[in-house]
Amino acid sequence: MQAFDQVMAANEQYVASGRHTDLPVRPARQLAIVTCMDCRIPAFPVLGLELGDAHVIRNAGARVTDDVLRSLALSTHVLGTRNALVVGHTRCGLFDPEGTITATLTDLMGHLPFNQSWGTFTDPEESIRVDCDRLLRWPDRPSGFEVAGLLLEIETGALTTVVPPRQATPVTDVPGS
C-alpha cells in the first residue's frame, strides 16, 4: 500500500530529525478544539497552536457527537481543559441543503451505521450554534467551562465568530441536575 509506505518512510526521517517531544500530557492552554476531518484544514497553524497547547478532536462535519463528549470528558475532567472551541468551515462535505448526501450515503450503506444520523446540515453557522449549545448544556460539563464557535473560510483561512465565548452555567446551579 503506497500510502502506508509513504507514512513509514516519512516517520524514519521524523525520528532522525529528533523533533519528538516530552511535553506534559495536559494541554498548556486548557483548550479543546472540535473541528472537521476535512483534509484542507491545518488545525494547528490556522489556530496558532503549538504542540502541547490543545486537544484537537476531529470528525466529519465538526459535530458534537456522543463520542466527542466522551473525548471531552477525559479532556476536561482528567486533563484540565476548560475552554472548548467548535470550528466549522465553509465548503464542508456535510453541507447538504438538498438532502442528497444523506440519501446517497444511506443508499450506498443500506442503513444508518451505529444508529447515528450522518450529521449533515443545511446552514454551517446554525450547525455551529447547535453544537455550542449542546456543549453549554452538557450535563457532565466541568465548572468554569467556556464555549465558543467559529467558522473557518476554507478559501481564505479566515475565522469569523459565530458564537462568542460563553461561560456555561455551573452544573450545581441548574435546578434538578
Which positions touch Zn ion (CB under 5 A)? 36, 38, 92
Q: Please, which residue, 94 or 168, has the CB nearer to Zn ion?
A: 94
Query: Is the Cβ of residue 82 or residue 96 nearer to Zn ion in the bound state?
Result: 96
Contact 79, 27 (CB under 8 A): yes
**Minimum CB distance to Zn ion smaller for 76 or for 149:** 149
| Nearer Cβ to Zn ion (92/151) | 92
Distance CA 134, CA 63 (A): 10
Least distance in angstroms from the C-beta of 147 to Zn ion? 20
- Nearest approach in angstroms of CB 95 to Zn ion is 8
**Least Å from the CB of residue 142 to Zn ion:** 27
Q: Are 82 and 144 in contact (CB under 8 A)?
A: yes
Alpha-carbon span 61 to 119, nearest angstrom? 7
Query: Closer to Zn ion at the Cβ: 72 or 92?
Result: 92
- Residue 107: CB minimum distance to Zn ion, A: 21
